[in-house]
Each structure stands twice: as structure tokens, then as C-alpha cells.
Amino acid sequence: EVQLQQSGPELVKPGASVKISCKTSGYTFTEYTMDWVKQSHGKSLEWIGGINPNNGGTTYNQKFKGKATLTVDRSSTTAYMELRSLTSEDSAVYYCARVNWAYAMDYWGQGTSVTVSS
């Protein structure tokens, strides 16, 4: 069974950074791109970027360049997203999602809530 287990909710201060993890199981980690998606409260979804776990290659939405950094640890089959210089605009739920051959996100993590507040 494919599973993506994300780390828990985060409360962080403005200007700080946060690193979210997405632990995978049930499939070959290096065979599927992992995407990250932002959902601000009550709003639609925004694609942040994706990472190829096989070679670490990344593609970012220009809007999130400099804000998000995607990495993987193949030994633990875990994907990570670090968000830096956080502001209230970064308060949202963040999802990791596995991408299938048709570039559709076929499995999703449960989401990680990030709240930026002093």
C-alpha cells in the first residue's frame, strides 16, 4: 500500500524557516516524481514544485523560487520541503503528492499545517 506520511503541524515566527518531511512507503521511491502543493485557508491549490528522487533534479514554480527548497533522502525514502523567510502569507496547509506517468498526483500526504505568527 502506497503511503505518504507528513510531519506534524508547525507554528513558526515570522522570518524563520521550517522543514516539512514526507515519508514514503509501499512503492519504489526513485521511480516517481514528488510534487509539493500549497493550500491557503479556504482557497485553491498552488503547485510549488517537484523533485525527481532518482537524481535530485527539481522544477519550481517561479513564484516559489527562493521560498521553497525541495530535497530527498533516498536512504529513508523521504522527501523534504524547506520554506524560508516565512511571513503570514506562507500560513497554509502543504501537501506532498506522488506524480504518475500522466503527470497527475495519484497519492497525497495528509497535509502539514504551517502557521506563521509571532
Partner 1 sequence: DIQMTQSPASLAASVGETVTITCRASENIYYSLAWYQQKQGKSPQLLIYNVNSLEDGVPSRFSGSGSGTQYSMKINSMQPEDTATYFCKQAYDVPWTFGGGTKLEIK
- With CB under 8 A, what is the number of residues at the site for partner 1? 22
Q: Is 30 helix (H, G, I), strand (E, B) or coil?
A: helix
Pick the binder of partner 1 from 1, 41, 62, 75 (CB under 8 A): 62
**What track of x and - describes contact with partner 1 for positions 21 through 60 (by CB under 8 A)?**
--------------x-x------xxxx-----------x-
CB of 53 to partner 1, least distance (A): 18
Concatenated DSSP letters of 43-79: S-EEEEEEE-TTT--EEE-GGGBTTEEEEEEGGGTEE
